[in-house]
Amino acid sequence: MDFFQALDHFLHYLQMAKGVSQHTLRAYRLDLTAFGSFSLRECALEPPNQILFFSHISKRIIRRYLACLYEKQAKTGTVLRHISALRSFYRYALREKWTQDNPMDEIDSPKKEKKLPVSLDYAQVQNLFAQPDISTYLGFRDRAIMELFYSSGLRLSELAGLNRRDFDARHRILYIFGKGKKQRQTPITQTAATWLTDYLQHPERHREADGHKPEVDRQAIFLNKWGKRLTPRSIDRNFSLYLKASGLSERITPHTIRHTIATHWLENGMDLKTIQLLLGHTSLATTTIYTHVSPKLKRAVYDKTHPRA
């Protein structure tokens, strides 16, 4: 089968059978299409014979492709993502009997340098949260977003995807559909619940600005100024503006708030298993990294265990 036809089948399989997110699906499509286009050039295939079969692709082509990624200054994480996509694709191709060989078996993965997540202290959190102008509708919305981030530890995509039915105001519970469409329940603070409730009742949220404005999205919680669901990219862009105004490091992202609340939970005595469940981590090992982040926790462990502390 033609490589690009096989790719379409593979992406359909990932979406329908595996339930991968649109973000992951887009990454697979971009990475594997880039590899296919590179292979066409390497094989010197031109119209009308521009059909790329698996038999055309050798280990040399794959290694050359990865080398080109490095030549373009791609980060190790990016290279690993491309390798992972190719491995998954070839496993599927073997299962479908589109190829009898898997050149990825002889491709080694580079070791990724593990970077500890960045987190904020409480004073920095307060500084960041003070930036939105809550006298305006959009500023009020953005403050509600920040409060919800810090209260729940949601991923950016999870927060953007929230619908009104996912919020149980009475019990202060969010029903989250996370990675792999796994559902979990996340409690939130009274403060966050109040901000969210007040935002949902804000008169500007339901007002159509003019006759050209489409009908307001009745399902989504967080809306843009046109009444449509706020996208992860828009949330990230707004966050960057508040970040700049606060004077905090440019390394801070919405995901930093997730790292921050996980670190604060740990510092205040919450056990790792509970944090794992709240964050929606599949593996406890992922959650354990926060034990290496907190200076406060390191000092407490040191003082407790060192014989002369």
DSSP state of 108: P
165 is catalytic: no
Inter-CA distances, 51 with 15, 46, 89, Å: 25, 8, 18
Catalytic residue selected from 81, 205, 255, 296: 255
Note the residue count of the chain.
309
Is 12 a catalytic site residue?
A: no
Dihedral over alpha carbons 294, 300, 306, 309 (to 10 degrees): 120
Catalytic residue among 81, 179, 202, 228: 179
Catalytic residue among 82, 141, 155, 264: 155
Q: State both tokens at 32.
A: 């594997």
> Which pair of structure tokens corresponds to residue 129?
């949260």
Please indicate whether residue 255 is annotated as part of the active site. Answer: yes
From 82, 141, 264, 281, active-site residue? 281
3-state secondary structure labels for all residues of 187-239: ECCHHHHHHHHHHHCCHHHHCCCCCCCCCCCCCECCECCCCCECCHHHHHHHH
| Segments in the chain forming alpha helices (H) | 3-13, 22-42, 59-71, 76-95, 122-129, 137-152, 156-160, 190-200, 232-246, 254-267, 272-279, 284-288, 295-305
Handedness of CA 37, 43, 49, 53 (dihedral sign): negative
Active site residue 179: yes
- Closest to 239 measured CA to CA, from 116, 155, 143, 161: 143
Q: Are 149 and 196 in contact (CB under 8 A)?
A: no
Residue 143, CB-side half-sphere exposure with 13 Å CA sphere: 20
Angle at 243 between CA 239 and CA 245, to 5 degrees: 120
Given 141, 143, 172, 258, the catalytic residue:
258
The two tokens of residue 154 are 């949601």
Active centre residues (catalytic)? 155, 179, 255, 258, 281, 290
